[in-house]
Amino acid sequence: AAGVIQSPRHLIKEKRETATLKCYPIPRHDTVYWYQQGPGQDPQFLISFYEKMQSDKGSIPDRFSAQQFSDYHSELNMSSLELGDSALYFCASRLGGSSYNSPLHFGNGTRLTVT
Amino acid sequence: AQSVSQHNHHVILSEAASLELGCNYSYGGTVNLFWYVQYPGQHLQLLLKYFSGDPLVKGIKGFEAEFIKSKFSFNLRKPSVQWSDTAEYFCAVKNNQGGKLIFGQGTELSVKP
């Protein structure tokens, strides 16, 4: 079965550079969530989208922005990268937004290393 | 604010031992509860979930969890662990508003062969 696809798998950037992470949800899933998992830490919610609109916002820095496109894929744009941004970035998708009792399906994550 | 607390940071067991990982949450309303597992080098995968009904939930790979509303708990159990259960386990809570998951800190389980 198709899963959540994230690209790239690994990304190495220098401080102050920009990065774009992509997430392709499971087909027909209209809701996307972004999580950041630092080394040895639990996943922290960043931002979510439902039907191409931002639905919730968590601990996402102002240097980051995200959007969901018409095909429901999402991109997380990160600017002025800092060493502390090094983490595993998970994308997850579900069908039907928050009102449906459907679990999240996670992608494999993008490991971002900022040097 | 909603929060999830997992009592054990690292658990070490021998094969065939019984497992119980604690999870408590703070939220007074209706919640959905989840346990996710992250095997080394892999992504988060759903073990089991509770939405309503029977508070004893059975998941994949022999895991089960019990929702005790009065204790705000959703502990994960397995009668006999295997070496392949070595992973990190995350308890998560979702309320009916917003839909995002709030994760606990995670419990690293190491099973000795």
Residue spans of chain B under pLDDT 50: none
Average pLDDT, chain A: 89
pLDDT class of A108 with cuts at 50, 70, 90:
confident
CB-nearest partner of A90 from B43, B49, B106: B43
Phi/psi for B83 (5° steps) reads -55, -35
What does the block give as tokens for B55?
Answer: 């508070």
Q: What's the pLDDT score for residue A98?
A: 53
Give the largest Cα separation in chain B, rounded.
43
Q: What Cα–Cα distance (Å) separates residue B27 from each residue in A91, A101, B16, B90?
A: 25, 18, 35, 17
pLDDT of A24 over the 90 cut: yes
Query: What's the gap in Å between the CA of A98 and the closest CA on chain B?
Result: 4
Nearest alpha-carbon partner for B19 in B42, B40, B35: B35
What does the block give as tokens for A115?
Answer: 């040097």
Identify which has the larger pLDDT, A2 or A69: A69
Tens digit of pLDDT for each residue in A4-21? 999 999 999 999 999 999
Q: What's the pLDDT score for residue A43?
A: 83
Q: What's the pLDDT score for residue A100?
A: 52
User: How far, in Å, CA of A73 to CA of A2, rounded?
Assistant: 14
What does the block give as tokens for B79?
Answer: 């009668």
Q: How many CB atoms lie within 10 A of CB A9?
A: 10
User: How far, in Å, CA of A51 to CA of A30, rounded?
Assistant: 6
Q: What's the pLDDT score for residue B1?
A: 67
Q: What's the pLDDT score for residue B66?
A: 96
Q: What residue in B sits closest to A58 (Cα-Cα)?
A: B100
Q: Is B74 on the interface with A (CB under 8 A)?
A: no
